[in-house]
Amino acid sequence: MAPVLISALEADYILKGIDDNLRADGRGRLDYREVILETGLITQAHGSARCRLGEGTDVLVGVKVDIGTVDIDGTEEEVATVKAKRGRVVCNVECSPIASQQFAGRGADDINNELTQMMSRVLNGPQGGLNLEKLCIIPGKACWIVYIDALVLDYAGNIVDTMFMTTRAALFNTQVPKAIIHDLGDGEVEFDLSEDVEEWERIEGWEHVPISVTLNKIGSRHIVDATPLEELTTEAKLHVMVNRNGKICGIQKSGSGSIEHSLLNEMVQEEYDINEKRMRNKPVEKLGFFAAT
């Protein structure tokens, strides 16, 4: 990634502001920018959503489901028997070069990999919320693979949170074709897919998909929903994923700085509270068609 520099003066200004609980755009430390969420905008996809955070960050997520084979080669038998009865989630995050000059050229590879990894870890497993067993069509043979493609169209800080929010919305929007199983006798099973769009169903467990809150440690304090300049002054980040039941589904740290143990506990608690609040009683305003543009 091309190093983006920030002057010492600018960094100091941000640091001081955060100490006083007043950030450059007038927010307090734990205030989010406005979120605009739109679903179902790609008709060819099985599900899609787009999220804009404040005036900047813009993430588009498309979900495609397709039939795949169960991948159990080389795994131990116990794991294989579990895996055989499950579908899979395959994530891919791509930061568009038009979003920021950081993503130009090969610079985006690292960040793309990091974000893809993070998504896969959270969503592929019980913590991800989706009922993967329900995605199995014929145990050991065929299953649904849910491809989640996130595209970062514009960057104004806090990609991770935006990405998870959009993903959750896109999964909510996703319709999976119904598979009709035929028993051929002799234990042989074959299936057909219902062509009728009306009969398609949501993926079970979409409501348990977690969202993330990222805290940026700047100086001895931490803030949410950092802007690009704030991210440049950030020493370390902590992402915490929480689902609607208030269960923590994943924690990941990034950035080069360290977080003291006491601060870590405090940050996790803080993030948890924020997330709880966001999940439960968030003021929602319906904006209608073309709201995000």
Partner 1 sequence: MLQSKSFLKRTKKGNAIKVVQEHYLRDDIWCSVECCKLCLQTGPVLSTSAMLTAQIPRPHYIVPDTNVFMNQIDIIEHPALHDVIIMQTVYEEIRHLSLPIYNRLRALINDQKKRFYVFSNEHHRETYIQRLKDESPNDRNDRAIRSAVKWYSTHLKKITNKENHIEVVLLTDDVGNRTKAQEEGLSAFSVREYVEGMTDTPELVDILGNSSNVEGDKKVPYEEHLTTSQITNGIKNGTLHQGTLNISMHNYLEGSILSNVNGADTQIMILGRPCLNRAIQGDVVAVQLLPKSEWLRTPTAVVVEEEEEANVNADLKEDGEPKEQNDELESEVIESSQPTGKIVGIIKRNWRPYCGFISKKSVKSSATSTFSENVLVVPMDRRIPYIYIRTRQAQNLMGQRILVSIDAWPKNSTYPQGHYVRALGAAGDKSTETEVLLLEHDVPFQEFASQVLNGLPVEGEAWRVTEEHLSGRADLRHLNICSIDPPGCTDIDDALHVRPLPNGNYEVGVHIADVTHFVKPFTSLDEEAANRGTTVYLVNKRIDMLPELLGSNLCSLRCNVDRLAFSCIWELTSDAEIVNVNFTKSVISSKASLTYEEAQILIDDTRKQDDLTKGIRILNQLAKKLHKKRIDRGAITLASPEVRFQLDFDSQDPVDVEMKELRETNALVEEFMLLANVSVAEKIYSKFPASSLLRRHPPPTSTKLKELSNAIKPLNFSIEFETSRALAESLDRAVLSDDPYFNKLLRILTTRCMMQAVYFCSGTLQFQDFRHYGLAAGIYTHFTSPIRRYSDVIVHRLLDAAINPDKNYGQELVDINKMQKLSDVLNHRHRMAQLASRSSVELHTNIFFKGKIEHNEGYVTRVLKNGFIVLVPKYGIEGIVYSSSASSTTKSQTTPLVVYNSHNNSLESVTPSGTVSIKLFDKVIVQITVDEDLVDGMRQKMKMELVSPFIPGLSVSDNTLRKKEIRIEDEGGNGKRMRIDD
From residue 128 to residue 157, what is the string marking binding to partner 1 with x (rule CB under 8 A)?
--------------x---------------
DSSP state for residue 29 in the 8-state scheme = T
| Amino acid at position 107, single letter | G
Segments of the chain assigned E as strands: 35-39, 47-53, 58-69, 88-95, 136-138, 142-154, 175-176, 179-185, 188-193, 201-202, 211-218, 221-224, 236-242, 248-254
Q: How far is the CB of 189 from partner 1 (least distance, A)?
A: 9
- DSSP letters, 198-233, are GG-EEPTTGGG--EEEEEEEETTEEEES--HHHHHH
184 counts as binding partner 1 under rule CB under 8 A: yes
187 counts as binding partner 1 under rule CB under 8 A: no
**Residue closer to partner 1 (CB basis): 141 or 277:** 141
Q: How far is the CB of 68 from partner 1 (least distance, A)?
A: 9
67 counts as binding partner 1 under rule CB under 8 A: yes
- Residues 159 and 216: their CA atoms lie apart, in Å, by 13
Among 2, 110, 126, 182, binds partner 1 (CB under 8 A): 182
7 counts as binding partner 1 under rule CB under 8 A: no
Count of residues making up the chain: 293
Among 7, 9, 26, 43, binds partner 1 (CB under 8 A): 43
**Residue closer to partner 1 (CB basis): 142 or 165:** 142
- Residues 53 and 213: their CA atoms lie apart, in Å, by 13
- Residues 48 and 38: their CA atoms lie apart, in Å, by 9
**Residue closer to partner 1 (CB basis): 25 or 71:** 71
Q: Which of 9, 24, 17 is nearest to 228 (CA)?
A: 24
192 counts as binding partner 1 under rule CB under 8 A: yes
- Residues 269 and 289: their CA atoms lie apart, in Å, by 37
Are 28 and 22 a contacting pair, CB within 8 Å? yes
Instruction: Determine the interface stretch with partner 1 among 63-71, 149-157, 259-267, 268-276 (rule: CB under 8 A).
Output: 63-71
Among 8, 9, 34, 44, binds partner 1 (CB under 8 A): 44
**Residue closer to partner 1 (CB basis): 66 or 71:** 66
197 counts as binding partner 1 under rule CB under 8 A: yes
β-strands 201-202, 211-218 pairing? unpaired
| Amino acid at position 171, single letter | L
**How many amino acids of this chain bind partner 1 (CB under 8 A)?**
22
**86 Ramachandran zone, left/alpha/beta (phi>0; psi -120 to 50):** beta
Among 55, 71, 109, 190, binds partner 1 (CB under 8 A): 190
251 counts as binding partner 1 under rule CB under 8 A: no
Q: How far is the CB of 287 from partner 1 (least distance, A)?
A: 23
Q: How far is the CB of 90 from partner 1 (least distance, A)?
A: 14
Per CB under 8 A, residues contacting partner 1 are: 43-46, 64-67, 142, 177, 182, 184-185, 188, 190, 192-198
